[in-house]
Structure 1
Amino acid sequence: MSMVRVLLADDHTLVRTGLRKILEAMPDIAVVGEAGNGLQLLELAEQHRPDLVLMDIAMPGLNGLDATERLLHSQPQIRVLILSMHQNEEYVRKALRHGAVAYLLKDAALMELEQAIEVVLRGETYLSPAVSGGVLSDYVQRLRRDEPAQAALTARQSEVLKLIAEGLSTKEIARALDLSVKTVDTHRSQLMRQLDIHEVTGLVRYAMRVGLISP
């Protein structure tokens, strides 16, 4: 098994030091960098191309939620695990909407951290039992609403979605499909409305999930 490359993002040095020691004691885990804020995390992610990021929410400069969204816009294959002191369900929902695949409280036991990492590396979602409640149910229901929506996409919509997910600009998509820029914009708006996804990052993740593009 290849080593899992991990980045840590937390504005507390002692927290990062403790996490590093815990992670480096796990098999097949390599901590490739530490960031004290969201902007530094984005720089390190571009440099190291990690598989997994352990992300705090409350960080100076750029918080963990916004950093997650920006990170996944450029590297959608990365798995982001939020480590937070906030137990409020609204934080959990925001984390999921911004692209995180796991939410764990900082007072969780070591065994739970290991379990969460194992789950997300399998491509699944993990929520700490202390915060899940109705959040996981809401999230699953939204995913289920998304699935039939894909079947209802026209062939042209699927083409546009695929090219958006591959990172092409509106003008590039228009040239590739021999359409006007206005028509491509219309397709993009229809996709977002139909799939109830309102940012490009979400469209990328959706296209990956339904197999239009590979991670």
Structure 2
Amino acid sequence: MAVIGRPDVPEGPHRRLVDALHEVYLRAGAPGVRTIAQRGGVSRDTAHRVLTNPALPTWPALEAVVAALGGDIGRFRALWVAARQPDAAPVAEPPAESGAAAGPSVRVLVVEDHPLYRHALVQAMDAFGHVVVGTAANGEDAVSLALETRPEVILMDHFLPGLLGIDATARIRSADPAIRVLIISAGATGELTLAALRSGAHGVLSKDVEADGIDRAIRAVARGEVHVPAGSAAPPEVAEPREAGEQELKPRERRVLQLVAEGYTDVQIAERLAVSVRTVRSYLDRVRDKTGERRRAGLVRVALESGLVRPRPGGATPDASSG
């Protein structure tokens, strides 16, 4: 099978992108267009055009081909952004094995009323290889834009003019449960964390977190995990027992719930308790029946409300994807 040659483009950011793509293509064994198309979920024409056309490809097409070839998505996102702005100051290419943007890009909607912070969030998303599908400055626009663009994750400021972030979240999640929301606030208190989880959000993020912390939180939420800041659980005096006629949990059931909220998977819980995974899931079924919460995010909320657990640093706990 003939090796696909690289297109001829002038020296500059676009050339660096082309060279890097050809290098990844050769390192992957120079697969045929059919194979690349099947792996990337695109047409053969699209795969061929990305590899051979001297014009700059669209990001979704390039991302699909890079993913099919096993390339670093974050690295190519940075190269592509630089190639779109050839007259701008040179952009340092991140190392090929950079962990800053490890994993696939996430489609993000940024909702923030402060222009400077909103711009900073958008820049951070670009730097980490995510795709910003839009921005909004108030809750009403956030709802309409979310249902129009269908992002994977929404970075939602809480204190928005008009409709508050948690109220906008409730409306969005009611209309499309597949959209995940990460509430951002200058004061990520226990009360806000509980209110956010009740609204359907998948977590809370403090505005003083570093950029890589935002990236980790977005990727965690996109994977279906719940992100709560360390120490954000409601204090004992406000964490009251739930009252929906729920049955009291037995000690072993409470222990399983605690481990779920602390971020352990079913397999890890089984190892810690020296029981089978099947037994752990049996306990979880009982906990779900007694609490009325079917998803792991709801179980985390129950554990926080009861004061059973305080989140560990890093704050990510798995959702229903782990069973």
Q: What is the TM-score of this pair, normalised by structure 2?
A: 0.43
Distance 2:188 2:220 in 1: 20
Where in structure 1 do 4 or more consecutive aligned residues deviate above 6 Å? 133-136
Measured in 2, the distance between the counterparts of 1:93 and 1:46 equals: 25
* Whole-angstrom distance in 1 between the partners of 2:115 and 2:108: 16
Distance, in Å, in 1 between the alignment partners of 2:107 and 2:219 is 13
Q: Equivalent residue for 1:123?
A: 224
Could you tell me how far apart the structure 1 residues matched to 2:194 and 2:163 are?
A: 19
Q: Pick from 122, 127, 133: which aligns with 1:25?
A: 127
Deviations along 1:22-77, one digit per CA (max 9) or x if unpaired, are 001112x1101111111000111121111110001111111000000000001101
For 1:25, the aligned partner's letter is: A
**Identity across matched positions, percent:** 36
Q: Work out the CA distance in 1 between the residues paired with 2:193 and 2:132.
A: 25
Contact preservation (8 Å) 2:107, 2:131: yes
**Distance across 2 between alignment mates of 1:148 and 1:4:** 35
Structure with higher strand content: 1
Q: Distance in 1 between matches of 2:285 and 2:171?
A: 25
Aligned residue among 189, 195, 213 for 2:292: 195
Give the drift of 1:147. Answer: 3.8
* Aligned-partner residue type, residue 116 of structure 2: L
Structure 1 residues 108, 133: closer, same or farther in 2, change over 3 A?
A: farther
User: In structure 2, do the counterparts of structure 1 residues 149 and 131 end up closer, same or farther at CA, with 3 Å as the change threshold?
Assistant: closer
- Measure how far apart 1:196 and its partner are: 6.7
- Corresponding residue for residue 53 of structure 1: 154
Deviation at 1:150, TM superposition (A): 5.5
Of 188, 196, 202 in structure 2, the residue corresponding to residue 101 of structure 1 is 202
Matched residue count: 158
Quote the Cα distance in structure 1 between the aligned partners of 2:123 and 2:225: 25
Greater length-normalized contact order (CA 8 Å, ≥ 6 residues apart): 1
Instruction: Tell me which residue corresponds to 1:68.
Output: 169
Higher percent of residues as helix: 1
Correspondence 1:1-215 to 2 at 5 A: 3-27=105-129, 29-132=130-233, 140=261, 147-148=285-286, 195=292, 209=320
Whole-angstrom CA distance in 2 between matches of 1:70 and 1:129: 27
Does the aligned pair in 2 maintain the 1:38–1:62 contact within 8 Å? yes
RMSD: 3.3
Q: Judging changes above 3 Å, is the alpha-carbon distance between structure 1 residues 23 and 71 closer, same or farther for their aligned structure 2 residues?
A: same
When normalised by structure 1's length, the TM-score is 0.63
TM-superposed CA distance for 1:102, in Å, is 1.7
Contact conserved, 2:108 with 2:133, CA < 8 A, in 1? Answer: yes
Tell me if the contact between 1:87 and 1:130 (Cα under 8 Å) persists in the aligned partners.
no
Structure 2 stretches of 5 or more lacking a match? 1-66, 68-103, 240-256, 263-280, 299-318
CA distance in 2 between counterparts of 1:115 and 1:89 reads: 21
Cα pair 1:37 1:61 within 8 Å, conserved:
yes
| Letter paired with 2:169 | T
